[in-house]
Homo-oligomer: A and B are copies of this chain.
């Protein structure tokens, strides 16, 4: 495929996902009222639809041929993702997301919590229509997501957090859902166990890179998902550049970094960046991102050349270069 055709096809998939989401939310709002309306706004404000597109492409590369068969699983991933965003925003006390006021900021915390529950219910209703083995993959990653968030909370402002701790959290929180979506899709397509496993690993590597990029964006200040720059630092989240710098720096520099992290404010941003640069910590993250993306690509080697393979490679490229 030509590059322009690749872009067209990705765009067409995104449009198809958007159209389906819009139709579901319109229908559900007629049934469930305000909870569906405000939860739906969160879903519809979403951006690149990377999760559902991955599900659709994993299905296709694994031999699936019927968009309608895989669409509920693709949409399910977006509903569940939105549910976690709504609850995360409560826990992070975020007032905006994707440029909109968050539900809890607008309607109070109680409605925020329940809106997240509604989104979960929708996600499970869509994902629950597949065979038990597929449902178990999805339910497991949702449970794992919760346990990783517990771990993440335990590590807030824990300056002894190791890169291994970080990777465990990221695998559960971000990469696991990517991996489970790809694997579930392959299972629906009737792929071999080996292919399911390769696509699981593809999703995992891609998801790790995705989160590493997200961490960089938080520090570099691109307007990531409508959240303000430095949100992670304010929340005391131990992201990889920070963990790396805490490991590399010594003496007064490390002490100063610890001080900055414990009482962060906007005016300290330049100093934080200087320290991270001194530790070459942003560069280190960039190298890791490239490594994980290369490993993601290598998982596709076993698959015959086809449109879906080219499109998945494009998604890898998009993750490498994303700025929001």
A residues with CB within 8 A of B:
28, 31-36, 83-84, 87, 90-91, 108-111, 113-118, 120-122, 124-125, 127-129, 132, 135-136, 138-140, 142-147, 149-151, 153
Cβ distance A123 to chain B, nearest Cβ, rounded Å: 8
Cβ distance A144 to chain B, nearest Cβ, rounded Å: 7
Asked if B150 and A28 sit within 8 Å, CB to CB, the answer is no
Q: Pick the residue among B116, B122, B132 that contacts A139 (CB under 8 A).
A: B122
- Could you list 28 A-B pairs, sorted by A, with CB under 8 Å? A31-B147, A32-B144, A35-B146, A35-B149, A35-B150, A36-B143, A83-B117, A87-B113, A90-B113, A91-B109, A91-B110, A91-B113, A108-B153, A113-B113, A114-B146, A117-B120, A118-B143, A118-B146, A122-B143, A124-B142, A125-B135, A125-B136, A125-B138, A125-B142, A125-B143, A127-B128, A129-B132, A129-B136
- Chain B residues contacting A140 (CB-CB under 8 Å) are 125
Q: How many copies does the complex hold?
A: 2
- Chain B residues contacting A120 (CB-CB under 8 Å) are 117, 120-121, 124, 142
Asked if A139 and B153 sit within 8 Å, CB to CB, the answer is no
A32–B34 Cα distance when bound, in Å, is: 34
Q: Pick the residue among B84, B90, B129, B136 that contacts A135 (CB under 8 A).
A: B129
Minimum CB distance partner of A80 in chain B: B121
Q: Pick the residue among B117, B129, B147 that contacts A118 (CB under 8 A).
A: B147
Answer whether A34 and B108 are a contact pair too, CB < 8 Å, given A28-B143, A132-B129, A139-B128: no
Minimum CB distance partner of A136 in chain B: B125
A36–B145 Cα distance when bound, in Å, is: 12
A125–B128 Cα distance when bound, in Å, is: 8
- Chain B residues contacting A142 (CB-CB under 8 Å) are 117-118, 120-121, 124-125
A143–B115 Cα distance when bound, in Å, is: 9
Asked if B147 and A36 sit within 8 Å, CB to CB, the answer is yes
A105–B167 Cα distance when bound, in Å, is: 29
Cβ distance A207 to chain B, nearest Cβ, rounded Å: 18
Cβ distance A148 to chain B, nearest Cβ, rounded Å: 9
A297–B174 Cα distance when bound, in Å, is: 49
A90–B150 Cα distance when bound, in Å, is: 17
- Chain B residues contacting A128 (CB-CB under 8 Å) are 124, 127-128, 132, 135, 138-139
